[in-house]
Amino acid sequence: MRYTDFRTILTEAKVGREYQHLEDLVFAEGSAGAMRAADVLEKLGSDSGDVAIKWDGNPTIYWGREPDGQFVMVGKNGWGKNKSTSADDLSRFIQNSGKGVDEEPWRKDFGTEMAEVFNVLQGATPPSFRGYVYGDLLYSPRKPFKSAEGAVQFTPNKVTYTVKNESELGGRIAKSKVGVVVHTKFDEWGSKTGAPISDVKELNNDSAVVLGQTYVTHQPKVDTSSVKAIRQLTSKVAPVIDKFIAGVPGLSNPAEIIYRYVNNTSKAKNLDNLENGFFDWLAQSKVSKGQQAKLAAMNEEMPKALPSIFGLVKQVMAAKDDIIDQLDSADADVKATTAGERGGEGYVALGDKIKLVPRTRWQPN
């Protein structure tokens, strides 16, 4: 099989999610992905205009108006299934979900909280609005923002956000009851294909702060030598990594297994040892013994493939983390801290559909 054939196979493989971690492009798309990662890094050094804060809100909610104008709101588990058309209906649904209030008493307070959010968002959503939006709750009457020195603060999940009082956003928050960050709009109830939404002005009033994308205002600098090194290594090892990721009969998507390994290593906070632990992890994983044997045979045939893949992943990650550090330390109206340390969940390069997440210090729930 020719090198160009491997490139064709890689374009058909599906790994990860719609928004990829920048470093995951190396094994999700092979050498072309590594080069694309270098392109993204280079672009970030001259134009960060489409880079937005990755808000760490919780829980996820969907709300909007039906074709007849009826307001509805549900949690993540109700989307496409249960239509709550009143605050009481939503509260009852939450309290009766799962094991119910008797075995999960927290559901009573949670149902009351969501009923309050329902009423606020219903009042903020214009009668003329049609369709549905989904977003993450930032603060609410049950978990409100707090006053800090010259700022307001809220901690919806792991990250604490501090917003200057003197900023336009800080002034709006100080008068409000509910804050939500919105990601997507859907035309149909239960749809899985929505469109990113940026203009959310019509969904706001004094009680509800509904945010669309919140863009960074700092222009980071990129170490051009690190980008050059990524390109040079990619050019050198492109054939072998593309051949490895293309797979063999009975193992059509090695990239998906590598994806699971990298995620596992990130959660274990062991990324420094990424290039050394693959086969130890593999032996304890749920990957079938047959596929494990094929990976071992491929590694024996192409001993430079995995070290090259993981080496590129770490190079891209290091360059990306430098950019994140610059954005985290820049003077801005919104500051994020996690467990008392500077920085939050990271950022999103919207145009490239890339996540800039500091995986050395951030792990999802």
Q: Are strands 159-164 and 151-154 parallel, antiparallel or unpaired?
A: antiparallel
Q: Are strands 354-356 and 20-21 parallel, antiparallel or unpaired?
A: parallel
**Per-residue confidence of the chain (365 residues) as pLDDT tens digits?**
444 444 444 444 456 567 899 999 999 999 999 999 999 999 999 999 889 898 999 999 999 999 999 999 999 989 998 899 999 999 999 998 888 888 999 999 999 999 999 999 999 999 999 999 999 999 999 899 999 889 999 999 999 999 999 999 999 999 999 999 998 899 999 998 888 887 899 999 999 999 988 888 889 999 999 999 999 999 999 999 999 999 999 999 999 999 999 999 999 999 999 999 999 999 999 999 999 999 999 999 999 999 999 999 999 999 999 999 999 998 888 999 998 889 999 999 988 989 999 998 877 65
Please name the helix (run of DSSP H) or strand (run of DSSP E) that holds residue 167, with its range, or none. none
- The distance of Cα 43 from the centroid of its chain, to the nearest Å, equals 20
**222: three-class secondary structure by DSSP:** coil
Question: Got the DSSP string for 258-283?
Answer: HHHHHHHHHHTT-GGGGGG-HHHHHH
Strand partners, 182: 135
pTM of the model: 0.82
Strand partners, 180: 137, 210
Q: Please, is 129 exposed, middle or buried when counting C-beta atoms within 10 Å of its C-beta (0-12, 13-18, 19+)?
A: middle
Instruction: Check residue 357 and give its pLDDT.
Output: 93
How many whole angstroms separate alpha carbon 236 and alpha carbon 108? 60
Which residue is associated with the tokens 């919104």?
334
In sequence order, what E strands does the chain have? 20-21, 51-53, 60-65, 71-75, 131-139, 146-148, 151-154, 159-164, 178-186, 195-196, 208-211, 334-338, 341-342, 347-349, 354-356
Q: Are strands 208-211 and 195-196 parallel, antiparallel or unpaired?
A: unpaired
Question: Got the DSSP string for 189-214?
Answer: TT-S--EE----GGG--SSEEEE---
Q: Please, is 100 exposed, middle or buried when counting C-beta atoms within 10 Å of its C-beta (0-12, 13-18, 19+)?
A: exposed
How many whole angstroms separate alpha carbon 347 and alpha carbon 79? 26
Helices 30-44, 224-246: inter-axial angle, 10-degree rounding: 160
How many whole angstroms separate alpha carbon 28 and alpha carbon 223? 24
Q: Cβ distance 72 to 131 under 8 Å?
A: no
How many whole angstroms separate alpha carbon 42 and alpha carbon 46? 7
Name which of 76, 97, 100, 73 is nearest 87 in CA terms.
73
How many whole angstroms separate alpha carbon 347 and alpha carbon 182? 15
Instruction: Check residue 16 and give its pLDDT.
Output: 58
How many whole angstroms separate alpha carbon 242 and alpha carbon 30? 5
